[in-house]
Amino acid sequence: MWTFVLLMFFVFLTIGITTGIIPLFSRHATPFSVSLPVDYLQKQFVEIRKKRYAVWNILMSILLGVPLFIAPYIDTELNQELFTSIYTVTGTIFLIVFSFVLYLKYRHDLLEWKKMIPREAFEESKKIVVDSQYHQKLDTRGNFSIFIWQLSIIVLTVILTYAFYEQIPQEIPIHWNTSMQVDRWIEKSPWSVLMLPTMQVLLIPVFNFSHYAFIQSKQKLSPLKPVVSAKKSRLFRKAWSNFLWMTAILTQIFFSFLNIFSLFMKESPF
């Protein structure tokens, strides 16, 4: 139970951090989706709300994660599972709604503040910066690379599965409770051993499309420092390309490990 609780707390914290830092590191020209004149993008009024949004999201994720530590002290295992499942879903929904409402609040603040900006500032900032060789200069992972790495992991998993098919028990575990005890099984068959690899195949287009959409998205350069902005933007896309590539590989490895573990586990090790 403690492992599950710590994992869920980490999930809450990850959601809070990821959501909170978005205004700090993306779309500098349109904070909270509000278009502002160039000279007003780095005003204290804007920067304070970006930082507050990050702090409140992270703080709320921690506060929502703390009650999970009550679960191990609940009297029965059934009540522990019931509490963690209901609370995790409810807490996640609340965190997302809170983040969305907070985003709308700060967006409203900026829209009201924007009304006080002189009209001349908008006339002076009507400048569009475009790097015609932006995508040609990108040094990112190729979509084929992401595809072939994932496919190779899945193929290797399937080969190992059928190579040692006779060693697989007649009953295959498919579900574990929060105490990591198997509580549901299915009978072995040539098709049942492919459940997880099938899911892995479905993940390939998800990861590839996510990577393609991110890399090919429209460039958004800051008129303040167009050259520096373009360089930072390319570095940012390179970093995220590597992150998505690594995420895809680790996810597929995790599912392959889970598949091998469940197929060849004759009894629960816990």
Determine the Cα–Cα distance for residues 161 and 190; give it in Å rounded to an integer: 10
Dig out the tokens for 121 from the structure.
């500032």
Specify the pTM.
0.56
Q: What is the mean pLDDT of the chain?
A: 79
The predicted pLDDT at position 75 comes to 78
The predicted pLDDT at position 34 comes to 81
Please report which confidence band the pLDDT of residue 268 belongs to, taking 50, 70 and 90 as the band edges. Answer: very low
171-176/182-187 β-pairing: antiparallel
Mean pLDDT of 214-230: 60
Taking CA atoms, 95 is separated from 9, 67, 88, 206, 216, in Å, by 13, 14, 10, 25, 30
Per-residue pLDDT tens for 71-102?
Answer: 888 877 667 777 887 888 888 889 888 988 99
Q: Measuring CA to CA, which residue among 248, 215, 246 is closest to residue 233?
A: 215
Q: Phi first, then psi: what are they for 171, rounded to 5°? A: -115, 130
Taking CA atoms, 202 is separated from 85, 117, 154, in Å, by 26, 50, 11
Per-residue pLDDT tens for 40-75?
Answer: 777 889 899 999 999 999 999 999 999 989 888 887
* Contacts (Cβ under 8 Å, ≥6 apart) of 253: 153
The predicted pLDDT at position 270 comes to 41
Of 26 and 125, the one with more pLDDT: 26
Task: Return the sign of the alpha-carbon dihedral for residues 161, 250, 13, 105.
Answer: negative
Instruction: Report the share of the chain in percent with pLDDT over 70.
Output: 76
